[in-house]
């Protein structure tokens, strides 16, 4: 099948983060098995979501992983001009939720499988598809835990997040924290008889603002924009009406950390703010940092036709692969600026370029 046809099939599965992806994985597993790939499906602890790991070639020989995720963010924005889960063509654009982030890369890899399977590969090609990447790379952690049982220690991993097919050597890490304050409701005319949860949360919010400002003069890495780790309060909620004392308030706060800085440690001072606030870690993943002279950087440059980019500020599962001992780099089709927006798209040329990159990758292993 052509990559565009496969992309059309993948987009049609509404695999929104946090929901079942079984039907999509049924399709992918059937397709891969039909071309002789060794397929393992790894159901996550949620029970309705799974990772998939497939190998073309001998799994006992060290090879390379092509990694992508199959979940997408919700598509409820009013700016869509058609059904987000029906791939729509507008000139050279292929429009649909996940077309760019990142079912386009998944489709390119799958489209190349028949030719990869016919190549005399000296090292195997592994395909890793994970779930709930959009919720902090949750699914791939379970795949990585099983990796030693699935194949010989990999030589490297290419994560196909949108980068314009330009290899990316480094990205920031991330941690997300939820803070919850609990109070006692009542009539606003008698605040002395209640306990205002929003007021209780306010010191932590103020501390987060101060922390964000202090990071500007903290450790720096000139490869990034901004060059320092960052903190931001993403959401704040609480209260029912102006004349009711709010009995609950919460805030979700994230840190983006440069390599060498633990994103959880960036947010750690907020856990020390007094006031009886409950804290819950929502997600975290480490930064990525691949040396520019690593053989994987040279390989990615060769097959993509682009010199590596030093760094980007968004994050991927590449940091987790690296943490697991697998050298990793980011290189995929499309522009990350199109992701998570209405009318998300990938062009046919970008999809064709990604498919050719995967085939060039296979040829390099022969």
- Per the omega criterion (within 30 degrees of 0), is the bond before 16 cis? no
Q: Which helix (H) or strand (E) holds 242?
A: none
Q: What's the rounded Cα separation, in Å, for the pair 67 and 261?
A: 25
**Of 50, 61, 35, 56, residue with least CA distance to 151:** 61
Report the chain's terminal Cα–Cα distance, integer Å. 23
Written as one string, the DSSP assignment of 286-349 is --EE--TTSHHHHHHHHHHTSPPB--BSS--THHHHHHTT--EEE--SS-GGGTTSTT-EEEHH
CA–CA separation, 209 vs 212, rounded Å?
A: 5
Question: One of 101, 132, 133, 250 is an active-site residue; which one?
Answer: 133
Cα dist from 334 to 104, 302, 347, 353, whole Å: 8, 19, 8, 10
Residue 133 a catalytic site member: yes
Crossing angle for the helix pair 103-118 and 22-34, to the nearest 10 degrees? 20
Burial 158-172 (b: 16+ CB within 10 A, else e): bbbbbbbbbbbbbbb
Q: Which of 50, 71, 101, 134 is catalytic?
A: 71
Q: What are 256's two structure tokens?
A: 């983006």
Cα separation of 364 and 125, whole Å? 11
Q: How far apart are CA 274 and CA 277, in angstroms?
A: 7
Which residues are catalytically annotated?
71, 133
């Amino acid at each position: 099948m052509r990559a565009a046809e496969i992309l059309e099939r993948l987009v049609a599965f509404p695999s929104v983060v946090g929901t079942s992806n079984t039907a999509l994985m049924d399709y992918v597993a059937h397709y891969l098995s039909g071309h002789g790939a060794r397929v393992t499906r790894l159901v996550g602890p949620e029970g309705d979501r799974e990772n998939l790991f497939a190998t073309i070639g001998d799994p006992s020989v060290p090879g390379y992983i092509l990694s992508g995720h199959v979940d997408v963010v919700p598509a409820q924005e009013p700016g869509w001009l058609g059904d987000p889960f029906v791939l729509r063509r507008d000139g050279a654009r292929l429009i649909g939720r996940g077309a760019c982030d990142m079912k386009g890369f998944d489709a390119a890899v799958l489209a190349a499988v028949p030719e990869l399977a016919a190549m005399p590969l000296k090292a195997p090609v592994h395909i890793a598809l994970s779930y709930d990447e959009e919720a902090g790379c949750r699914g791939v952690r379970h795949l990585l835990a099983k990796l030693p049982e699935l194949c010989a220690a990999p030589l490297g991993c290419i994560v196909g997040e949108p980068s314009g097919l330009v290899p990316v050597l480094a990205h920031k890490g991330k941690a997300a924290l939820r803070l919850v304050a609990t109070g006692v409701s009542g009539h606003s005319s008698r605040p002395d008889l209640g306990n205002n949860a929003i007021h209780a949360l306010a010191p932590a919010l103020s501390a987060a603002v101060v922390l964000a400002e202090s990071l500007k003069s903290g450790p720096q890495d000139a490869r990034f924009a901004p060059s320092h780790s960052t903190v931001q309060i993403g959401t704040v909620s609480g209260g029912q009406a102006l004349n009711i004392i709010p009995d609950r308030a919460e805030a979700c706060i994230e840190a983006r950390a440069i390599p060498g800085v633990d994103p959880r440690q960036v947010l750690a001072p907020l856990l020390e703010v007094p006031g009886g606030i409950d804290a819950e870690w929502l997600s975290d993943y480490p930064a990525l940092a691949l040396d520019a002279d690593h053989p994987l950087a040279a390989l990615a440059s060769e097959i993509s036709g682009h010199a590596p980019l030093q760094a980007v500020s968004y994050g991927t599962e590449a940091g987790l692969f690296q943490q697991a001992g697998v050298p990793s780099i980011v290189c995929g089709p499309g522009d990350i600026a199109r992701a998570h927006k209405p009318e998300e798209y990938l062009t046919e040329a970008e999809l064709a370029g990604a498919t050719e990159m995967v085939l060039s990758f296979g040829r390099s292993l022969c």
